[in-house]
Amino acid sequence: LDSHFTGEPEDAHRQWVVIDLGATKPINAIRIHWAAPYARQFRVEYWPGDDPMHLHPDDDDDWQPFARGNVNDGDGGDELIRLAERPRSVQFVRIVMSHSSRTGGQPSDDIRDRLGFAIREIELGNLDKGGRFHDRVRHGHDRHRQTVIYVSSTDPWHRAEDVDFSIEQPGLDFVFRSALTNNLPVLVPIGVLYDTPENAVAEIQYLLRRNYHLEGIEMGEEPDGQWASPEDYAALCTAVARQLASLNPNLKLGGPSLQNFEDQLLTWSDASGNRSWMNRFLKYIRRAGARFDFFSFEFYPFDNVCGDPAPHLLKIPKRLGAMMTSLRQDGVPSDIPWLMTEFGYSVFGGRPEVDIEGALFNADTVGAFLTLGGGKPYLYGYEPNYLQDELKCSWGNLMMLQLNRKSDQVNRLSTYYAAQLITKEWMQPVNESQEIFPITIHATNDGAHRVTRATNPKSLTAVTAYAVRRPDKQWALLAINKNPKRTAQLNVEFDLPGAKQPARFIGKVELIQFSRQQYAWHADGPNGHPIRSLPPTHFTHDGSSSFELPPYSLTVLRGNVAN
């Protein structure tokens, strides 16, 4: 994003380094060991609040400059700067760099060797009255022993020794020719922040030449989670989008595959005080005239895989609804498709993902997303995998099929059956439109739940339900009982427009149900596995309005409604 390529002023895309000292320390000096190129203009700031890397809507803190933190004529080398007369007690310090020396470490004709900023080492601490410098940074060769340092960008390079031999990377042809695509166009991701436009163009050009059907190109790799500036990421997306559009103007381009967030997606304030990451990203995209044909984000709401999952499951619709409402308020258009391109219980492996809760989570997330106006949800975890214990408390993984280290046996997990129930029983598996209808759930005094077609539920009820009118004109309800101990009684009414009174199912009602009667998980560390893994039960029910939902269960009710 140097002005050499963008044509923008040098300070349009300032780069930064944030030092997290782990606790407040007395700071009045910094020594920067510059490499080449170095910053000719930069400033050093401190954060007066709690945590600048994880912002909340009720925080109004902002970066503050040290009294002597502005440098306008830096000349590189090992630069010791006294930031203030008296030490200030701070935890987070930021270096903001705006003008590069454009010098290289060795002779080169490649302009890229002379752009940007390079720092060898940073010392941060205080100068005492005797002029002695006390460094508060822990220096080490791995992330566990050194002070945490955040940077705005790094070079997209890889070394041979960085290869992870525990990971398999399927080739593009393998994926496109496999049954994974279900003979449908594929949404293809490309790198932006950690790749180059040339690589993205080469990948898509390869796919187009082989006549593979592409649904769209997702330009994104969780930029908000990498603390990328919205303007920086928008500039990169603009450059990539223009080159891709030159290959084929009909390609659908979108992104940015936002990482999961709570309440509101915030970043540090710009000059106008705007802290909305997505709002500023979209403003840049529109000013640049770049393509933005769809919006994508990820949903992994729960970091705690060690605790009881039951309270977490109750929060799914409300939490997802709050996210989507916030994004609309930030300016994400409603007239383009919204794609949830990854979702799962947690980014960490844990038992809730492989036990019955994994099925409940996936079904509730899909139902809530579609009812809230989402376009397409993409499940993460199609490939068979092994159990992991990332937080050292619970073994699990985001997967539908479990590999066995001692045999060729593959275990079908609860999420496998949930996927079948959603795509083959609730929805009709045909290439036609399915009508989603909002509902309201009322808990009655006797413990029953009454479902009517009305507005979206907002309470943390243990029962959620989602209604669809299928192409075959049948009505189907996906009902989820998230209470691990109590059976729920569901009374169903259809409050249809123009009807004088609520309608009910008539004739035979198909009931497809999945609960602990079909699935049970045996926790045994890395050898954990299902001891009962059966498909959902199918039976018919006489047309009525009352249905029983077992504890921790998924139920599809499907039938006709009086016209």
Compute the half-sphere exposure of residue 468: CA atoms within 13 Å on the CB side of its CA: 26
Mean pLDDT for the chain? 93
Across 58-79, average pLDDT: 94
* Coil/strand/helix, residue 281: helix
User: Angle 188-189-192 (CA atoms, 0-180°, nearest 5)?
Assistant: 145
pLDDT of residue 127: 95
Q: How far is CA 361 from the centre of its chain?
A: 16
Question: pTM higher than 0.85 for the full model?
Answer: yes
> pLDDT digits over 451-493, tens only?
655 434 444 689 999 999 999 999 999 999 999 999 999 999 9
The first and second tokens of residue 150, run together, are: 């955040």
Backbone angles phi, psi at 509, to 5 degrees: -115, 125
CB 43 within 8 A of CB 97: no
> pLDDT digits over 99-135, tens only?
999 998 888 888 988 999 999 999 999 999 999 999 9
The pLDDT confidence band at residue 76, using thresholds 50, 70 and 90, is very high
CB 39 within 8 A of CB 117: yes
CA 218 – CA 244 distance, rounded (Å): 11
pLDDT of residue 456: 42
CB 330 within 8 A of CB 281: no
Distances in whole angstroms, Cα of residue 162 to Cα of each of 118, 149, 165: 22, 21, 9
* Coil/strand/helix, residue 313: helix
Q: Between 488 and 544, whose confidence is greater? A: 488
CA 245 – CA 505 distance, rounded (Å): 50
> pLDDT digits over 441-454, tens only?
887 666 566 665 54
pLDDT of residue 544: 72
CA 172 – CA 169 distance, rounded (Å): 9
Q: Which residues of 333-345 are buried (b: 16+ CB within 10 A; e: fewer)?
A: eeeebbbbbbbbb
pLDDT at 159 over 80: no
Q: Which residue has the tokens 């436009």?
A: 197
Backbone angles phi, psi at 233, to 5 degrees: -70, -35
Domains of the chain: 3-151 (2.60.120.260), 166-426 (3.20.20.80), 435-561 (2.60.40.1180)
